[in-house]
Amino acid sequence: MALITKIEMQKKNKERYNIYIDKGAGEEYGFSVDEHTLIHHGLRKGLEIDEIELTNILYDEEVRKGYLLAISYLSFQMRTRKEIQEYLKKKEIGNQVISEVIDKLSEQSYINEREYACAYVRTQSNVPMKGPDLIRRELVEKGISISMIIESLHEYPEEKQIENAERLCQKKVNSYKHLSALKVRQKLEEMLTRKGYPRHIISIGLESIETKKDSDEEWQALVHHGMKYHEKYKKLEGWAYESKMKQALYRKGFALEAIERFLSEQQN
């Protein structure tokens, strides 16, 4: 048995208390508790507690600590169960305590994964304009169930996906002015794929812009790259030079006929 001999408020934290006890060898510091734990267990000077009661007090104090950490973590934005679990593990909170904290937060509606998923879909589709496939993968990583993900993606209708895909293409296409029409289309397709758009949305997005350059624009793009490769291979002669130039420009998406015209004009 241990007798509580003194309860002292901490100077730096007015909501925590130091508990001093006497186990028969004189007064000594025993442990510290949150105000909630102090009241819940009715701790007071003169109270005797045994080892079982002490274990329960310290366990409840650990739960309280985990709960307050989770509340602070949630104060910045909504979180999923998995995110809170991972956060508390980093704070060295035990699995059993984490489970109890999660249950308590759920009961108090601090965790609502259905609401979280819907809000996440709305945000990620509006600001970075991510596609539904990428959003789906991210929600899986955050521990959201497949059924909730399917439900939340109703917040991202196909019309919105098409609008986003078209906007992304329009924003990016001007930065590819020195590329061939074929390469422009490939670059845009790769970008939309990385963004998580499905194949049929990508096709519609690409159709919304004119990736086919007129003959003059295509020629200027070929000349731009042709001169760069000429500087690279100009020490070569004859067939070796021509072969390297054709390979390099063909990989850039230019037609062989146009490449041969460029090489002919270079020779002249």
Quick: pLDDT tens for 68-100. 999 999 999 999 999 999 999 999 999 999 999
Mean pLDDT, all residues of the chain: 91
Long-range Cβ contacts of 179-182 (<8 Å, 24+ apart): 179/221, 179/252, 179/253, 180/213, 180/218, 180/221, 180/222, 180/252, 180/253, 180/254, 181/211, 181/212, 181/213, 181/218, 181/253, 182/253, 182/254
pLDDT of residue 115: 95
- The residue written with tokens 């004009």 in the block is 265
What pTM was estimated for this model as a whole? 0.72
Calpha distance 29→20 (Å, rounded): 4
More confident residue, 181 or 194: 194
Backbone angles phi, psi at 140, to 5 degrees: -60, -45
pLDDT of residue 248: 87
Residues paired with 2 in a beta bridge: 49
Mean per-residue pLDDT, 131-154? 97
Calpha distance 230→234 (Å, rounded): 5
Mean per-residue pLDDT, 40-69? 94
pLDDT of residue 253: 80
- Of the chain, the percentage scoring pLDDT greater than 70 comes to 97
Mean per-residue pLDDT, 142-158? 96
**SS in 3 state form for 168-207?**
HHHHHHHHHCCCCHHHHHHHHHHHHHHCCCCHHHHHHHHH
Residue closest to 211 by CA, chosen among 251, 190, 183: 183
